Amino acid sequence: MNTHPLVSIITVNYNQVQHTCAFLESLRKISYPNIEIIVVDNHSAENPESILQTQYPEAKLILSKSNLGFAGGNNLGINMATGKYLLFINNDTEVDAGFLEPLVSLFESNPKAGIASPKILYYNSDNIIQYVGCNKINPYTGRNKRIGYKEKDLGQYDTLRETELAHGAAMMVPRHVVDEAGVMPELFFLYYEELDWCESIKNCGYSIYAVPASKVFHKESMSVGKNSTLKTYYMTRNRLLFMRRNTKGLTKVSWILFFLIFSIPKNISKYILKREIDQLKAFWKGFVWNITHLTNGEKIKLLA
């Protein structure tokens, strides 16, 4: 067994070259000896080529001719990657020096492991947990709960565990699993694509793991903003899209009724009371997208 198989580290930059540089700087301190680094620039307003190639020549840079979203950018990275394992990680993260070894060890010892995420802590937060595993997505609301979310990390979740979903901020997948399950679904563009991908990987017979011995620190929501209309739009649009793609029968009927009867009135009332009309428009736009982008009889099923 090769104790240090090649790991391809793929990150996507979009108008955040300063954070990408901080991320690359943290990679220079890791202990794992066999990596390749791939940075995909998703058509940033300012070309980061001169900065990245001058300061971090060890990174392979791909310049996309358009903004392909999270999935599309990562898929460009997949095309260049040559590693046995592919690590998809946000550029607004910094990593612990020994974060790769526990992830590689899991896959080298468990052939049924299909995707895994490290423990993710909020950056500069005194070790507050963002992710260390999560529960299954609720079949009615399209939401789920993260284990230990916003708790202080005292080692209470430090056992390797099988979990329902990986976290898109940092997730490792063996190359052969990507070849079998397919690449990330690009129709999502932003949010929920990694959750849909997890379902595809599970449908191929693989399991998902949270690996708390591996640690990553995340500067969350720097690219779109915590209360941006862009985030509201894509979260609404893609939550519904995810549910459409991953439910059937009575479960599908149930969540559609739940959304129409409860979610729509609740969100409309919330945004009106807060006088957040732009947020209301973004929410409604995300809903309408799913009405106007239905195929193979889905429109009849949804409206019936």
Per-residue b/e over 217-249, b at no fewer than 16 CB within 10 Å? bbbeeebbeeeebebbbbbbbbbbbbbbbbbee
The dihedral built from the CA positions of residue 96, 30, 69 and 117, taken in this order, carries a sign that is negative
Are 206 and 236 in a shared domain?
no
Given this model, what pLDDT does residue 46 score? 87
CB 14 within 8 A of CB 41: yes
Q: How many domains does the chain have?
A: 2
Examine the domain organization and report whether 191 and 241 are in the same domain. Answer: no
**Confidence (pTM):** 0.90
Please report whether residue 1 resides in a domain. no
The H or E element containing residue 41 is strand 35-41
CB 58 within 8 A of CB 128: no
- State whether 180 and 107 are in the same domain: yes
Residue 2 placed within a domain: no
Q: How far is CA 43 from CA 12, 73, 97, 226, 231, in A?
A: 10, 10, 30, 22, 19
Q: What is the CATH number of the domain that holds 79?
A: 3.90.550.10
- What's the confidence (pLDDT) of residue 139? 81
Closest residue by Cα to residue 232 from 270, 200, 186 = 270
Last-in-domain residue among 187, 218, 249: 218
pLDDT tens digits, 157-209: 999 999 999 999 999 999 999 999 999 999 999 899 999 999 999 999 999 99
pLDDT at residue number 297: 38
- Regarding whether 171 and 265 lie in a shared domain, the answer is no
Instruction: Write down the pLDDT at residue 34.
Output: 98
Q: Are residues 142 and 264 in the same domain?
A: no
Strand duo 113-122 + 129-131: pairing: antiparallel
Same domain, yes or no: 53 and 81: yes
How confident is the model at residue 1, as a pLDDT? 54
59 within a domain of the structure (yes/no): yes
216-252 pLDDT per residue, tens? 999 975 445 567 899 999 999 999 999 999 999 988 9
Q: What's the pLDDT score for residue 299?
A: 42
Residues 262 and 132 in one domain: no
User: So what's the pLDDT on residue 51?
Assistant: 94
Same domain, 143 and 80: yes
Residues 164 and 264 in one domain: no
Output the CA–CA distances (angstroms, integers) from residue 96 to 28, 29, 249, 271, in the order listed: 11, 8, 44, 40
Range of the domain at 233: 229-303
User: How much is the pLDDT for 143?
Assistant: 79
Whether residue 224 is contained in a domain is answered as no
Q: What is the pLDDT of residue 48?
A: 92
> For residues 40 and 71, what is the distance between their CA atoms, to the nearest angstrom?
11
Residue ranges in the chain modelled with pLDDT below 50: 222-223, 296-304
Structure tokens at 33: 């000896």
Sign for the pseudo-dihedral over CA of 279, 281, 287, 290: negative
Q: Do residues 196 and 279 both lie within one domain?
A: no
243 and 188 inside one domain: no
